[in-house]
Amino acid sequence: MATMRAWQFTTLNTPFESNLTINTIPKLTAPTQSTSLKTPSILIRIHAASLNPADHKVPLTPLVGRFLTPQPATPGLDYAGIVEAVPDGCPTTLKPGDRVFGRHEWPYQHGALAEYILGQPNGVVKLPDGLSFVQGAALGTAAVSALQPLEMANIKEGGSVLINGGSGGVGSFTVQIAKLLGAAHVTVTCGPANVERVKALGADDVINYREVDVVGVLKANAKDSGRLYDAVIENVGAVDSLYEECHEFVRPGGVFVQVAGTNVFFTAKRLILPGFLGGGKVRYRSYLATNVPEELQRIAEWVNEKKLKVEIDEEFAFEEATKAFAKLRGGRAQGKIVVRAPREGRT
């Protein structure tokens, strides 16, 4: 029987990486109907995978994490590699040998920290020849989670956007894509170590949250210089006062998009009764990434055309995945964390 290696967990203790072990399991095949993915799926030999906070936060979410994914389970949403098999009836134009990158819309039993993955047809696209597998693996969820909230907020030529949390994997893409969509002014919050870095990515104004009160600065700027925003992109998820007082620095009719998770109770209240819970006339939107092949391809072309930079914080060997998770949980990554597949000849 053909086999493959995969990182798996069968327990859900903290820290998350303490549950992970490398196992040798039967190699995945490309069925015409996957019971896990609910659709014919593409067998892909992985060359690189990148980590996202959801990879460890979702499994550890009380109740939800324990019942969402059958175990033993392999974590990981994002990957890049080479198509090995496409079953009959699979809705794709991809063929064996194609270089691809992709993402799962939601964690499921067979994730990206393995030698093979079954890719969802709507979440796998060709990797341009000019991009490496490491770059491709780093796109997926982070880049989609930057583009889609900006589109949800209708950011376009001449717009103004505040990005709360602009230095991580998602934030670094959000800054750049806001400019690519035509934003005239982008304000970003980050720590002192990343101020110059996010300016280099295109931020017009940077607020160091460690040295000042972010909400206080935003309110003062609105009062003193008339700085108002069309939208707020919330990538941190822990600053409730940002929404509660955003009507003072966001234009009436503006949008507050919650990308990073926050307290479920507060989110529910904002969605049901936003006018009574702060924000005034600012519309509240909660965001969950979805697969749109055309958007994945658009992102890849931006990178291929040197319009969008892929920031890699660190690459880890396959056997070092637990170290990669420990770094991700530390919250100080400057860009994406990538785990290479256990194979020679990778690029």
pLDDT at res. 237: 79
Confidence of residue 262 (pLDDT cuts 50, 70, 90): low
Give the amino acid at 37: L
**pLDDT tens-digit map of 113-140:** 999 999 999 999 999 999 999 999 999 9
Q: Judge whether residue 69 has pLDDT over 80.
A: no
SS3 percent helix, strand, coil of the chain, rounded to 5, is 35, 25, 40
Q: Judge whether residue 194 has pLDDT over 80.
A: yes
pLDDT at res. 261: 65
Closest C-alpha among 109, 81, 103, 102 to residue 8 = 109
Per-domain boundaries in the chain: 3-139+310-340, 142-286
pLDDT at res. 14: 94
pLDDT at res. 187: 98
Residue given tokens 């007082």 in the structure block: 245
**pLDDT tens-digit map of 205-249:** 999 999 999 999 999 999 999 999 999 999 987 667 899 899 999
Confidence of residue 62 (pLDDT cuts 50, 70, 90): confident
Closest C-alpha among 99, 196, 188, 200 to residue 146 = 188
Backbone region of residue 165 per phi and psi (left: phi > 0; alpha: psi in -120 to 50; beta: other values) = left
Q: What is the largest CA-CA distance in the chain?
A: 70
CB 2 within 8 A of CB 26: yes
Q: What is the mean pLDDT of the chain?
A: 90
Give the integer Cα–Cα distance in Å for 149 and 134: 24
State the fold for domain 142-286. Rossmann fold (3.40.50)
Confidence of residue 148 (pLDDT cuts 50, 70, 90): very high
Give 225's contacts (C-beta < 8 A, 6+ positions apart): none
**pLDDT tens-digit map of 247-261:** 999 999 999 999 976
The CATH class given to the 3-139+310-340 domain equals alpha beta
Q: Judge whether residue 168 has pLDDT over 90.
A: no
Q: Judge whether residue 347 has pLDDT over 50.
A: no
Confidence of residue 279 (pLDDT cuts 50, 70, 90): very low
Least confident among 37-51, 91-105, 259-273:
259-273
Give 334's contacts (C-beta < 8 A, 6+ positions apart): 167, 168, 172, 193, 194, 197, 311, 313
CB 257 within 8 A of CB 237: no
DSSP code, position 110: B
Give percent above pLDDT 70 in the chain.
90
DSSP code, position 73: B
Least confident among 80-84, 90-94, 194-198, 261-265:
261-265
CB 50 within 8 A of CB 34: no
CB 231 within 8 A of CB 153: yes
Q: Judge whether residue 190 has pLDDT over 80.
A: yes
Q: Judge whether residue 264 has pLDDT over 80.
A: no
Q: Any alpha helices (H) in the chain, and if so which ranges?
A: 53-57, 64-68, 133-137, 140-152, 169-180, 195-201, 214-225, 240-244, 264-272, 293-304, 321-330
Beta partners for 43?
85, 118
Higher-pLDDT residue of 37, 49: 49
250-258 vs 283-286, strand pairing mode: parallel
Q: Judge whether residue 342 has pLDDT over 70.
A: yes
CB 334 within 8 A of CB 197: yes
Q: Check for a shared fold between 3-139+310-340 and 142-286.
A: no
